[in-house]
């Protein structure tokens, strides 16, 4: 069975992830198929807008398919992962800067790579089942695919909180934190998609939207105090058991670099392509100098949930963070690759 389908339906280009048994985890071929569809349709007058959607009830896209990255990396092939991330990020940049309107329908798990596909577009629809998160610190990465930029735009210190803990946002919180725009109940999605395909007018999305569900994070005043400093401060402050457990379990290097990234994004407010270039500085180094291989092993391969990180909690120096986020020189992501 195909992992993805792309087709023209009425006046809409439809990109459908069709890998539900794997929670629509994004493979390299899927990422490249999305990019190719966008290239094919950008000058096609038959296509007025693009719809991003996924089959299955459980997930829009639960993240990137990292199993092959792990196997290649364990064998000493770090370039494969760098190629994967470089090309995926180029696709993310195309989605974010596409000249035609893009509407994403986000249901179930929307994590990591799913955020990179569906959360940078102009019209982001969530339903009752949406669970959106950036849980990369748990596997030795940082929130990437432009996720650190989205986190930086969340109110107050919610970006730091979600980036460090991988907190799952329901539909109300996703809208409150800027990862989604409109709440439309799932049973109204087929009619909304039909209208988009028929008329090519993204304005019908706002007309179909209903009041968003409650956003619990809007009242989480403790986040501001607990996540204004470093990871140690957060651990000493939080009383939420799930957040505390995530802070203890994540890669110390990844969490320290995540704080640096989110705060730099907040200060500089780069474009999505510029944010991707900054994130790539970490991911390009994450196998050789970071915790990615050990994080994937513990979470997804052996599933023992007991990673041995390179650093003890609180033992990451500012110099080590700076080294992970330093410019890559000729190995950087290059603007011409995204043109």
Using CA atoms, how far residue 156 sits from 199, 206, 330, in Å, is: 39, 26, 36
* Contact call for residues 280 and 272 (beta carbons, < 8 A): no
3-state secondary structure of 312: coil
By the 8 A CB rule, do 127 and 283 touch? Answer: no
144 is catalytic: yes
- Please state, in angstroms and rounded to a whole number, the distance separating the CA atoms of residues 216 and 210: 18
Handedness of CA 179, 184, 185, 187 (dihedral sign): negative
Q: Which of 63, 64, 140, 147 is catalytic?
A: 64
Catalytic residue selected from 73, 112, 113, 172: 113
Helix (H) or strand (E) segment spanning residue 60: strand 59-61
Tell me if residue 314 falls in helix, strand or coil. Answer: coil
CA distances from 217 to 72, 151, 168, 264 (A): 39, 13, 11, 23
- Phi, psi (deg, nearest 5) at residue 83: -65, -45
In the residue annotation, 214 being an active-site residue is answered as: no
Look up 29 and say whether it is catalytic. no
CB 153 within 8 A of CB 178: yes
Pairing of strands 12-17, 4-9: antiparallel
Among candidate residues 35, 53, 65, 136, the one labeled active-site is 136
Please give the Cα distance from 23 to 35 (Å, whole number): 20
Catalytic residue among 53, 65, 144, 279: 144
CA distance 17 to 320: 38
CA distance 3 to 59: 14
Q: Residue 80 and residue 85: Cα distance in Å, rounded?
A: 9
Q: How many Å apart are CA 91 and CA 319, to the nearest integer? A: 32
Catalytic residues: 64, 113, 136, 144
């Amino acid at each position: 069975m195909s992992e993805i389908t792309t087709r023209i339906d009425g006046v809409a280009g439809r990109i459908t992830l069709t890998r539900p048994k794997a929670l629509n985890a994004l493979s390299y071929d899927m990422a490249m198929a999305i990019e190719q569809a966008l290239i094919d349709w950008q000058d096609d007058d038959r296509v007025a807008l693009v719809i991003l959607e996924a089959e299955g009830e459980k997930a829009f896209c639960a993240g990137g398919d990292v199993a092959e990255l792990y196997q290649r990396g364990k064998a000493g092939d770090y370039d494969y992962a760098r190629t994967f991330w470089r090309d995926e990020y180029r696709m993310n940049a195309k989605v974010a800067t596409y000249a035609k309107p893009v509407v994403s329908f986000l249901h179930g798990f929307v994590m990591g790579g799913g955020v990179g596909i569906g959360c940078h577009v102009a019209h982001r629809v969530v339903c009752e089942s949406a669970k959106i998160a950036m849980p990369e610190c748990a596997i030795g990465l940082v929130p990437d695919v432009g996720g650190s930029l989205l986190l930086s735009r969340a109110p107050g210190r919610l970006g730091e909180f979600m980036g460090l803990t991988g907190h799952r946002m329901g539909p109300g919180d996703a809208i409150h934190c800027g990862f989604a725009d409109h709440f439309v109940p799932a049973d109204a999605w087929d009619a909304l998609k039909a209208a988009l395909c028929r008329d090519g007018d993204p304005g019908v999305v706002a007309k179909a939207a209903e009041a968003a569900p409650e956003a619990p994070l809007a009242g989480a005043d403790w986040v501001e105090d607990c996540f204004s400093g470093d990871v140690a401060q957060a651990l000493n402050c939080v009383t939420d058991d799930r957040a505390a457990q995530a802070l203890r379990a994540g890669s110390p290097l990844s969490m320290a670099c995540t704080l640096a990234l989110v705060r730099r994004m907040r200060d500089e407010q780069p474009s999505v392509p510029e944010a991707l270039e900054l994130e790539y500085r970490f991911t390009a180094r994450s196998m050789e100098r970071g915790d990615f291989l050990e994080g994937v092993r513990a979470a997804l391969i052996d599933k023992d949930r007991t990673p041995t990180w390179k650093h003890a909690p609180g033992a990451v120096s500012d110099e080590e963070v700076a080294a992970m986020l330093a410019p890559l020189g000729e190995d950087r992501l290059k603007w011409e690759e995204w043109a």
